[in-house]
Amino acid sequence: MPAKNYNAAPLPFMGQKRRFATQFREALHDFPTTTVFVDLFGGSGLLSHIAKRERPDARVIYNDYDDFHLRVENIERTNAIIDRIRAILTDAPRGKKVDDTRRRSILGLLEEYERTGYVDYITVSSSILFSGKYATSLSELERQTFYNVVKQSPYPLCTDYLNGLEIVKYDYRELFARFKDVPNVAFLVDPPYLSTQAGHYSGYWKLADYLDVFQTILEHPYIYFTSNKSSVVEFFDWMNAHGFGSPFNGAIRKQIKNSVSFNAQYTDIMIYRP
C-alpha distances (whole Å) from 224 to each of 24, 25, 88, 107, 221 are 10, 14, 44, 40, 10
CATH number 3.40.50 is the correct assignment for the domain at 18-67+169-273:
yes
DSSP single-letter state for residue 20: G
Q: Is the pLDDT of residue 133 over 60?
A: yes
pTM above 0.85, yes or no: yes
Question: In the prediction, which pLDDT does 2 show?
Answer: 62
- Per-residue pLDDT at 220: 96
- Residue 19: what pLDDT? 80
Which are the contacts of 242, defined by CB distance < 8 A and separation ≥ 6? none
Given a cut of 50, is residue 199 above it in pLDDT?
no
Instruction: Assess whether pLDDT exceeds 50 at residue 196.
Output: no
Domain ranges of the chain: 18-67+169-273, 73-141
Name the amino acid, one letter, at 139. S
Spatial separation of the C-alpha atoms in residues 186 and 252, rounded to whole Å: 15
Mean pLDDT of 138-156: 96
Q: How far apart are CA 186 and CA 216, in angstroms?
A: 10
> Is residue 55 over pLDDT 90?
yes
Q: Output the CA torsion sign for 167, 168, 172, 175.
A: negative
Please report, rounded to a whole number, the percentage of residues in the chain having pLDDT higher than 70.
92
Assess whether pLDDT exceeds 80 at residue 261.
no
Per-residue pLDDT reduced to its tens digit, 170-180: 999 999 999 99
118 compared with 236, residue with greater pLDDT: 118
